[in-house]
Each structure stands twice: as C-alpha cells, then as structure tokens.
Amino acid sequence: MFRNLLGIRYLDKNQILELLDLTHDFRIKYYNNKDFPDCSKTNIGLLFSSNSRRTKSSFQQAANLVGSNCVEYSLRKDDELGSESFKDAIKTISQEFVDILVIRHSSAGSALYTTKFFTGPVINAGDGNHEHPTQAFADASTILHHFKSMDGLVITMVGDFLESRIARSNAWLFSKLGAEVRWIGPKNLLPTNFDSLPVKIYSNLDDAMCNTNVIFCLRMKKHRLEDRTWGSFPGYIKSFQINKKRLKSARSDAIILHAGPVNRGIEIEDTLVDSDVFHMGKQIENGLFARSASIYWVLQNKNQLEKSMASTLNQVEQ
C-alpha cells in the first residue's frame, strides 16, 4: 500500500503533521550522524518536463540521503517521430522498475493525471500554478524551527500570486495548522476570485504587515521583467517591496522567507537579504529533509510509519 503526495489541499492535518515530524526527525538524524531509513532498493524516476532551478537537484540530494537511486526522464518532442503522448510516457516509465515518480510539469493537475497510469507513488514537484507540496513542507519546517507552533501565527505573503504554486501550497498548509494567511500584491497578479482559498486579501502593505510573524516574499518571475502589462517595477517597489522601514510594522521577532531565487532590490531590499531575519538558507536545507521525508512517507502505510517514528525518536533520545 502506498500514498501519493499531490498537494497540501488533499492532506488532512494529521498527514501534514506526520510529514513535518518526519522532516524534523530527518534533520535531527543528519545533525546527530544517525542513519536515515534505508530506501536503497527504491528507484526514483525524476520526470521534469518544465524548468526547474533547484527542485530537481534537491530531490537528487534527498534521494541520496535515503540511499535511493535516481533515474532522469524527459518528455521528448521529436519532429520526425512525432511527440509521444504524456500518457504513453508515464506508462513507459512504469515498465522500467521505477518505484516512485517525481514529476514537474507545466500543466496544473498533471500530477493527479499521472496517478491514473503510474503504478507506484507519485510526488508532485510542481504542477503548473497549482501546487508544490514539498516546498511547502520545507517552508513550514523552517517556520516551525523558529516559532515551534504554527497555531495563531500571522503569515503575510507578498508578490505574484497568479503564477505561484508555492503560494497555494503554503496557504493550504499554514491555514490547516492554524495560522492566519494574508496575501498582498498588485491587482493584476492576484486571482480575481479567492473565495475558495484560505486567505485574506489586503490592499495596503502596512496594514498587511501589522502583527505579522512571518513575511513570505514570492519571486517576481523573469517573464514579468519582459511583459510589463501587469504594472511597473518602480510602482511595485514603492508599494510592495519589503524593506527595513516596513519591517517595523511587523512583530519584533518576525522572520522573512523567500520562495527563491531572489531578485535583490525588487521583492526585498538588498541589505535585508544578508541579514539574520532572512531565512532562505534554512528553507533550502529543510527542502532536502522534506523531500527525503516525502520519499519515505509515500512508501509507508500509516502503521509502519508510526512504528518507525517511535523507534527513531527512541534512538535520538538515547
């Protein structure tokens, strides 16, 4: 029996806590030189059909931590032979002794679609603008490392929400664990209707920052630099850039997270990126543990997982 990891939206609070506990557990193991669970007999297929800056290498490294083997796949478009359909590509991968398929694809819902044809667990590494669950675990784990509990926290996300799977996954995760999630950004980069999302929309950054524990900057994508129909960068910086002055509106112990990579001087003031309140380095590190945990989690059924976690925690305590 296996599980898929397709999106935070599909998980209940207990499942989220299971994965966060595992992520925490793996981090402790790493820093205490303890062995990770052995997944050395697991072949992981990495099918990345749209651009990935860091997620792919993060998954490769995460697989190394649990001893798994990675095989890379791509969707080829061959002019002479014609392009293989997505469905056939998945069926082919299924026949090649791949145990877990990690998929990045430009279409929202493609990870869910993949489960129809892949015979093992599927991990969503980003499906269009829908979800990016392993990144949300990395981000939540970073917040929990600092604040211990998500309950009652105010998390303000700033930037481009229209094309952000990270914003969606994080909104679901933070809210399911009891945090208040605020979104603020240019009107052209926000969804028209957000009634079904667990967020509050703000129109003034200073209002949104009030009582905030965590400020989460979303990346301004490269094509926004070229396609300027959404607004102007000077206007964006004036209204939405996180700087030292604005940080004062937040709580005194507030931290800043970023979906990465950073456009210094646009989403965030340059000097803040190098300051102690900026936790992106931790997010990247936690990304490895969250992805190792995800690989382990999708292979386990609930009982096995509980047993294994109990023994791990005993080991660490000893």
Q: Could you tell me if 267 and 159 are in contact, meaning their C-beta atoms sit under 8 angstroms apart?
A: yes
Question: Is residue 129 at the binding interface for another protein, with CB under 8 A as the rule?
Answer: yes
Q: Could you tell me if 205 and 240 are in contact, meaning their C-beta atoms sit under 8 angstroms apart?
A: yes
Query: What sign does the dihedral 17-22-28-30 (CA atoms) show?
Result: negative
Question: Is residue 165 at the binding interface for another protein, with CB under 8 A as the rule?
Answer: yes
Question: Is residue 67 at the binding interface for another protein, with CB under 8 A as the rule?
Answer: no
Contacts with another protein in 192-231 (CB under 8 A)? Answer: 192-197
Question: Is residue 160 at the binding interface for another protein, with CB under 8 A as the rule?
Answer: no
What amino acid is encoded at 42 in this protein?
T
Question: Is residue 168 at the binding interface for another protein, with CB under 8 A as the rule?
Answer: yes
To another protein, the closest distance from the beta carbon of 114 in angstroms equals: 9
Q: Select the residue interacting with another protein from 54, 87, 187, 244 (CB under 8 A).
A: 87
Q: Which is closer to another protein, CB of 113 or CB of 296?
A: 113
To another protein, the closest distance from the beta carbon of 161 in angstroms equals: 9
DSSP per-residue codes, 168-189: HHHHHHHHHTT-EEEEE--GGG
Q: Which stretch binds another protein (CB under 8 A): 81-89, 134-142, 220-228, 289-297?
A: 81-89
Q: Could you tell me if 26 and 297 are in contact, meaning their C-beta atoms sit under 8 angstroms apart?
A: no
Q: Which is closer to another protein, CB of 112 or CB of 277?
A: 112
Q: Select the residue interacting with another protein from 2, 30, 86, 202 (CB under 8 A).
A: 86
Place of tokens 């599909």: 10
Structure tokens at 96: 């090649």
Question: Is residue 113 at the binding interface for another protein, with CB under 8 A as the rule?
Answer: yes
Q: How far is CA 282 from CA 61, 141, 143, in A?
A: 16, 9, 10
Q: For residues 182 and 162, give the distance between their C-alpha atoms in angstroms, rounded to a whole number.
A: 15
Q: For residues 46 and 38, give the distance between their C-alpha atoms in angstroms, rounded to a whole number.
A: 19
Judged by CB under 8 A, the number of residues near another protein is: 26
272 phi/psi in degrees, rounded to 5: -70, -30
Q: Select the residue interacting with another protein from 4, 55, 110, 300 (CB under 8 A).
A: 110
Q: Which residues bind another protein (CB under 8 A)?
A: 9, 85-87, 105-110, 112-113, 127-131, 165, 168, 191-197
